Amino acid sequence: MSETTPQTTGDRVDGRTPDQLREVRITRGWLDHAEGSALIEFGRTRVLCAASFTEGVPRWKKGSGSGWVTAEYAMLPRATDSRSPRESVKGKIGGRTHEISRLIGRSLRAVIDLDALGENTIQLDCDVLQADGGTRTAAITGAYVALADAISWGRRHTSLSATATVLTDSVSAISVGIVDGRPLLDLEYREDVAADTDMNVVVTGTGGLVEVQGTAEGVPFSRAELTTLLDLAESGCASLAQIQRDVLAEQR
Amino acid sequence: MSETTPQTTGDRVDGRTPDQLREVRITRGWLDHAEGSALIEFGRTRVLCAASFTEGVPRWKKGSGSGWVTAEYAMLPRATDSRSPRESVKGKIGGRTHEISRLIGRSLRAVIDLDALGENTIQLDCDVLQADGGTRTAAITGAYVALADAISWGRRHTSLSATATVLTDSVSAISVGIVDGRPLLDLEYREDVAADTDMNVVVTGTGGLVEVQGTAEGVPFSRAELTTLLDLAESGCASLAQIQRDVLAEQR
Amino acid sequence: MSETTPQTTGDRVDGRTPDQLREVRITRGWLDHAEGSALIEFGRTRVLCAASFTEGVPRWKKGSGSGWVTAEYAMLPRATDSRSPRESVKGKIGGRTHEISRLIGRSLRAVIDLDALGENTIQLDCDVLQADGGTRTAAITGAYVALADAISWGRRHTSLSATATVLTDSVSAISVGIVDGRPLLDLEYREDVAADTDMNVVVTGTGGLVEVQGTAEGVPFSRAELTTLLDLAESGCASLAQIQRDVLAEQR
Amino acid sequence: MSETTPQTTGDRVDGRTPDQLREVRITRGWLDHAEGSALIEFGRTRVLCAASFTEGVPRWKKGSGSGWVTAEYAMLPRATDSRSPRESVKGKIGGRTHEISRLIGRSLRAVIDLDALGENTIQLDCDVLQADGGTRTAAITGAYVALADAISWGRRHTSLSATATVLTDSVSAISVGIVDGRPLLDLEYREDVAADTDMNVVVTGTGGLVEVQGTAEGVPFSRAELTTLLDLAESGCASLAQIQRDVLAEQR
Amino acid sequence: MSETTPQTTGDRVDGRTPDQLREVRITRGWLDHAEGSALIEFGRTRVLCAASFTEGVPRWKKGSGSGWVTAEYAMLPRATDSRSPRESVKGKIGGRTHEISRLIGRSLRAVIDLDALGENTIQLDCDVLQADGGTRTAAITGAYVALADAISWGRRHTSLSATATVLTDSVSAISVGIVDGRPLLDLEYREDVAADTDMNVVVTGTGGLVEVQGTAEGVPFSRAELTTLLDLAESGCASLAQIQRDVLAEQR
Amino acid sequence: MSETTPQTTGDRVDGRTPDQLREVRITRGWLDHAEGSALIEFGRTRVLCAASFTEGVPRWKKGSGSGWVTAEYAMLPRATDSRSPRESVKGKIGGRTHEISRLIGRSLRAVIDLDALGENTIQLDCDVLQADGGTRTAAITGAYVALADAISWGRRHTSLSATATVLTDSVSAISVGIVDGRPLLDLEYREDVAADTDMNVVVTGTGGLVEVQGTAEGVPFSRAELTTLLDLAESGCASLAQIQRDVLAEQR
């Protein structure tokens, strides 16, 4: 497990400074069955990320010599402050769930060489056990760790090459936003609902941008504000990349 | 948290004796938002039980003066050895899921005085994070702890009477089965698939039977075998009832 | 057709004694198209059981050399005292329907040698035309007759061996319960809703137990009560097994 | 029960003459719970028609002073020669089912004075137990009998006026078609699949046309052929109307 | 594009005479991607018809040497005067939609030689952009034009024979009805809701009847009225067939 | 109708320069029934936008004094080069559809004062009739015009104030991307599939940013590239805002 050392000298609702992450904890191998897994916590937000490695690919990729990585995101009904009905009971998946699942899949595919993966599929499941803002960014950050372990598993247990570079970079994500006119890093739920602008940024370990999704919740934002938010997000993702490196460096 | 002290002197697949439970751990209050919650572990089986207390009742009970308790059971896709598709993605809930949800609800309603609960609803969510046999019995046992805490919450935060006896008894459940001709308590997954007869028994803290569900997987079973299995199950549930008492006696 | 001779000297709601079955009628071959069929009546409960024999097996059994038997249970909307919406209109199948379908399938598979059946599939459809308690037990009892006829059909019209023992035993089912403190056999609807404990028992023709499903609707039940109920059920199933033998002995 | 006396002197597949109905049987009150019911048989086609009378109307008719009549048609999976999957299992209703349900509802509403019915609803359920061609026409013809009985029930048990004319006429339906160039009345299944043109005609007891639905399955049909088919259908419906009068005249 | 020259000397709501069509416009090739397409307008009713030609047939026709033509009809939510919820959002298709899709498919298959089409599939999509009565008849009439163009495309771009007669005739459709006792051709919406009898008639270019669907909305109709309506419809379809010929004769 | 004057002196696939929009056409009031509507074309991309104004709000806003604006996006099956199955037939809405519907709704709500709208609802339907890249940006741009007309309608026909400022700004959207290392404005489909980075930007008439959604399809993008793309998008949206002003200035 790897975690940040939180300082609580700022004036945000939980005592953080504007550019400070919440305490981040990553517990590798939380599940016994999955080829890769991580329980990731951004403060009170807890997401269980499982990576399932299977040989073979979906029908539309058969014979391509190339692999596939996909993701599903979901939330337990009582992850939130008041209970939400299950999507399985409603019989359909909501727009938000679809949107985040697609975002996670795209983010991971940005750092994997599908040709090097060969005709293998890795399915990521990111289940939010408890939500307090930033669930999609925690999911991406934790899913990368589970993905890395599933690839190691594949190298040991399948015909996947032990030496080819399958992961071309690491990837992490963080939310930023403007609350009461102030740019803040890693919004918790109370900050998120109060934000005028909310942005999720996905960044690789070497600093490349993978996704920038900024939304004005109330008044539109300016180019200058956008610049400040991107600076904050890049700095936050650099910290997350270091935490990922640390936790993956541990012997298992 | 409360747990059993496992001995491993037997000859079962994991070293247990035929009448021995797996290590049982109950972590109360695992969730920050839920009115009651427990992470329960029977060996490698882990079920997160959340109890949501809401004032008011479904339409068909309005004006009855009486409350309602219901439950939903589900399994994360990678709880099992190979990944299962999500029921939310398939768009419908399987028969097994329905059946277990109904069983959990009935079991809890057997120990609650719905009139004393007043027009309040408690919804239990039992999500299997990892499955290794006995998920429904772990779910019932853990859900009781979450339910008890939700009722305490209701006493402190709603008009629910602080003194009325809402819970009339405790309730727990265990599986038993005949494997290779031998009656065993608390089957783990490898034993479960090898069992000729599989039975789930739900017992109250004072020893009353709430549910007896025995199924011959292969050859039918005899009355004598049924008797032996019921003896084993009653003994196992007595241990679980003690663990529940211990964990609920802790200060929070 | 075969039926019991009802006596009406008891003090139950319909004049039966506690250990008396309702009038049981089985009309074999009620349908012209199905390979096996039976209209079974337990008093006013009427279930139409159809067995469809098809060569081949579901994909997951292909090449196994072994067959498959499965069942679906459903109720016409006006089988009950007040009309219920159709599950086809609601677009999903309720938990109770799923549960009973699974129970019927398991019960029949307990008396069939799937290897002897070869790669053939028999699908049972049990449709409740009128419900007055005990629909699932009538369904199992009638489905066995339809199944036996479908196997005979298979022997005559397919490559199924004319001599191999496909059915290893017969199977029937009955409900028992405790009403006003009194153990009763074969509950009709009015007794069912008044029962404190309700149990469905599936027994083979040679007396082996296939399923025991006992539920405390109100107060839990004791081991002694369980014993009494099982005695009643075994006696009832013995009568049903005789009726099945009689009806199947008739020339067609 | 009322039935026709079939003659078998013709040269159709079952010995009928071109203008001859199959044997028609109507068993009134086949169900114990429904306010009106009829098991109708056109030869081997058997449809169970249940009419459910409920006080009150759907929301969109509330306060109108007027009632509602609606119908649902369905087929048991093994009504046909080879088993069809259940619509409840598929999770949606097929186009043919929808189409026939709508046809039955419209046909019955053509002979009922919804204002005289007052704010009451009658729901018809027409379930095909066995299909051998003409299921929709048998359903309409039987549903009328069930409807008439449900109205009588309403007169005795609700505030529905005992004297107002709720039914303004009777209604029945029959199929006609051109097979091998020959116009035939009341097609059974083998004739139906061989027909070039297939037509269902719904006629009131006084001879008014309610529905005419003619379809060229192969080559288009001419105005002259249409005229011949309509003549046949009117004659068949006249016979059905007499059978309906006879069966409804019986004491119950 | 081809269109009628409307005269407005009659006394209908829009000035037409009883036997007059609305202005009919057909814009061929309205879509760039589809193999055949037509935007058809019957007055304010506008239906976009697209024909998709694909080589190969559904599984159940494979190896038959014969092709398939099928159709789907749908309406945009704001095609109508007040917005209707989307069927994709409701998660199921209504009975009316199913019924019309089936009607369009049958009507087109009546004029196509599926053997001559070979193992190719043509899928028609008829989407109502604006509805003012007669959407199904406009859809059939426009779909024929799109179908003809898709076949031409197939002759140029696939192995479909350049000379075989695939279309054996043309087909068009029109609605007729009795409004205030007067038979009218081509009802617009206001007339449609006021009609006592409503009939849709599908006729080939050579005058054969393909479908006759007449419904009494209020009082039943007589044979004499039916005759008058059929005369009107045949005349209307003759005009539509001429318009189809004209538009298909244009160079593209 | 209003449109741009396209120049074709560049070297893009259709002759445009990198910073050039496709020909933009907006046909106001394309529909007769809708309170506001616009058919918008970006080159071959055609989206029909309908705005439905209804008095009243969804239940969760009742009594708030505030209105609601929401949107649904969909695509006709043959809008694309090869036919896609209908979401109504599949029975569920895809992730992409959900995502775009949500984006359109958010974008429009950014320029409307829901309090000034009062308890009224405006539902936007954006149906893609033909797709050639940029369908979501065309939808936003066209939906704004339909929205503006629906508000004008509301002022004339409902209690909506004739003078209050309901629309606080205009809004339009455009796609930008990096293709072969070159930043391009308003990608058509062939460019879209070849793009390494794809970004949709939503900008108000006064230049505020509402949404920035940038995605690296292949290699990540740098901050410098992001800056260039945002410059292009701002310039494109300024042109679209002018076209919107022009078309809304026309007399109707």
Nearest Cβ partner of C95 from B99, B212, B221?
Answer: B99
Structure confidence at residue B192 as a pLDDT band (50, 70, 90): very high
Give the whole-angstrom CA distance, residue B158 versus residue B55: 8
Q: Which pLDDT does position F64 carry in this prediction?
A: 93
Q: Characterize the bridge pairing of strands F120-130 and F68-75.
A: parallel
Q: Give the residue on D whose Cα is nearest the Cα of C39.
A: D129
Mean of the pLDDT values across residues B215-224? 91
Q: Give pLDDT tens digits for D178-227.
A: 999 999 999 999 999 999 999 999 999 999 999 999 999 878 999 999 99
Least confident of A87-96, C6-15, C142-151, D60-69: C6-15
Q: Is F96 a known ligand-binding residue? A: yes
Q: Examine the pLDDT at E2 and tell me if it is beyond 80.
A: no
Calculate Rg over the CA atoms of chain B. 18
Residues in chain F: 252
Q: Examine the pLDDT at B94 and tell me if it is beyond 90.
A: no
Give the whole-angstrom CA distance, residue E109 versus residue E171: 10
Chain D neighbours, 3+ Cβ pairs < 8 A: C, E
Q: Which of F212, F225, F228, F229 to mutate to test the interface with A (most CBs of A within 10 A)?
A: F212
Q: What percent of chain D has pLDDT over 70?
A: 97
Q: Is residue E149 part of a domain?
A: yes
Q: Which pLDDT does position C179 carry in this prediction?
A: 95
Chain C residues within 8 A of D92 when measuring between CB atoms: 88, 91
Q: Give pLDDT tens digits for D133-180.
A: 999 999 999 999 999 999 999 999 999 998 889 999 999 999 999 999
Query: Chain C closest CA to D103's CA: distance in Å?
Result: 17
Q: Is E96 a known ligand-binding residue? A: yes
Mean of the pLDDT values across residues D61-72? 95
Would the CB atoms of E219 and D208 count as touching at under 8 Å?
yes
Chain C neighbours, 3+ Cβ pairs < 8 A: B, D
For E208, residues 6+ apart whose C-beta sits below 8 A from its C-beta are: D216, D219, D220, D221, D222, E169
Nearest Cβ partner of D31 from C92, C123, C130?
Answer: C130
Q: Examine the pLDDT at E11 and tell me if it is beyond 90.
A: no
Q: Is residue E179 part of a domain?
A: yes
Residue B116 token pair: 């004393």
For E234, residues 6+ apart whose C-beta sits below 8 A from its C-beta are: D223, E201, E203, E207
Q: What CATH number corresponds to the domain at position B73?
A: 3.30.230.70
Q: Give pLDDT tens digits for C97-130.
A: 999 999 999 999 999 999 999 999 999 999 999 9
Mean of the pLDDT values across residues F222-233? 96
Q: Is residue A81 part of a domain?
A: yes
Count of pairs with CB atoms under 8 A, one residue in D, one in E: 90
Mean of the pLDDT values across residues E185-199? 95
Q: Is C136 a known ligand-binding residue? A: yes
Q: Give pLDDT tens digits for C37-72.
A: 999 999 999 999 999 999 999 999 999 999 999 999
List the domain range (segments joined by +) for residue D146: 24-249
Q: pLDDT 10s per residue in chain A (252 long)?
A: 555 555 557 889 899 999 999 999 999 999 999 999 999 999 999 999 999 999 999 999 999 999 999 999 999 999 999 999 999 888 888 889 999 999 999 999 999 999 999 999 999 999 999 999 999 999 999 999 999 999 999 999 999 998 889 999 999 999 999 999 999 999 999 999 999 999 999 999 999 999 999 999 878 999 999 999 999 999 999 999 999 999 999 977
Q: Is E218 a known ligand-binding residue? A: no
Structure confidence at residue B3 as a pLDDT band (50, 70, 90): low
Q: What percent of chain C has pLDDT over 90?
A: 87
Q: Examine the pLDDT at C191 and tell me if it is beyond 70.
A: yes
Nearest Cβ partner of D92 from E92, E102, E169?
Answer: E92
Q: Give pLDDT tens digits for E84-139.
A: 999 988 888 888 999 999 999 999 999 999 999 999 999 999 999 999 999 999 99
Encode chain B in three state secondary structure: CEECCCCCCCCCCCCCCCCCCCCEEEEECCCCCCCEEEEEEECCEEEEEEEEEEECCCHHHCCCCCCEEEEEEEECHHHCCCCCCCHHHHCCCCHHHHHHHHHHHHHHHCCECHHHHCCEEEEEEEEEEECCCCHHHHHHHHHHHHHHHHHHHHHHHCCCCCCCCCECCCEEEEEEEEECCEEEECCCHHHHHHEEEEEEEEEECCCCEEEEEEEECCCCECHHHHHHHHHHHHHHHHHHHHHHHHHHHCCC
Would the CB atoms of D92 and C89 count as touching at under 8 Å?
no
Mean pLDDT estimate for chain B: 94
Q: Give pLDDT tens digits for F12-46.
A: 989 999 999 999 999 999 999 999 999 999 999 99
Nearest Cβ partner of F99 from A95, A203, A215?
Answer: A95
Q: Give the residue on C whose Cα is nearest the Cα of D91.
A: C91
Would the CB atoms of F78 and E125 count as touching at under 8 Å?
yes
For F191, residues 6+ apart whose C-beta sits below 8 A from its C-beta are: F12, F13, F133, F177, F179, F184
Q: Which pLDDT does position C3 carry in this prediction?
A: 53
Mean of the pLDDT values across residues B200-215? 97
Mean of the pLDDT values across residues E199-217? 96
Q: Is residue F15 part of a domain?
A: no
Q: Which pLDDT does position A61 carry in this prediction?
A: 92
Q: Is residue C98 part of a domain?
A: yes
Nearest Cβ partner of A214 from F95, F169, F212?
Answer: F212
Q: Examine the pLDDT at C5 and tell me if it is beyond 70.
A: no
For D10, residues 6+ apart whose C-beta sits below 8 A from its C-beta are: D16, D17, D18, D20
Nearest Cβ partner of A222 from F209, F214, F226?
Answer: F209
Q: Give pLDDT tens digits for C158-180.
A: 999 888 899 999 999 999 999 99
Query: Chain A closest CA to F146's CA: distance in Å?
Result: 21
Closest listed residue to residue B25, CA positions, set B39, B11, B9, B7? B39
Would the CB atoms of F209 and A221 count as touching at under 8 Å?
yes
Mean pLDDT estimate for chain F: 94
Q: Examine the pLDDT at F94 and tell me if it is beyond 70.
A: yes
From residue B83, how far is each of A38, A51, A93 by CA, in Å?
A: 16, 10, 19
Q: Which pLDDT does position A2 carry in this prediction?
A: 54
Burial code (b: 16+ CB inside 10 Å, e: under 16) for F86-103 equals bbbbebbbbbebbbbbbb
Q: Is the ipTM of this complex over 0.90?
A: yes
Give the whole-angstrom CA distance, residue B132 versus residue B46: 8
Q: Which pLDDT does position F95 carry in this prediction?
A: 84
Q: Which of A101, A196, A209, A225 to mutate to test the interface with F (most CBs of F within 10 A)?
A: A209
Query: Chain B closest CA to C177's CA: distance in Å?
Result: 13
Give the whole-angstrom CA distance, residue A143 versus residue A161: 22
Residue D207 token pair: 């001879």
Q: Which pLDDT does position A130 carry in this prediction?
A: 98
Q: Is residue B14 part of a domain?
A: no
Give the whole-angstrom CA distance, residue F230 versus residue F199: 9
Give the whole-angstrom CA distance, residue C44 versus residue C79: 10
Give the whole-angstrom CA distance, residue C36 versus residue C29: 6
Quote the number of domains for chain D: 1
Mean of the pLDDT values across residues C224-240? 97
Would the CB atoms of B99 and C99 count as touching at under 8 Å?
yes
Would the CB atoms of C223 and B230 count as touching at under 8 Å?
yes
Structure confidence at residue B120 as a pLDDT band (50, 70, 90): very high
Phi, psi dihedrals of residue F27, rounded to the nearest 5°: -105, 105
Closest listed residue to residue F145, CA positions, set F7, F15, F10, F24? F24
Q: Which pLDDT does position A125 carry in this prediction?
A: 98
Phi, psi dihedrals of residue A59, rounded to the nearest 5°: -50, -45
Q: Is residue E84 part of a domain?
A: yes
Q: Is residue F202 part of a domain?
A: yes
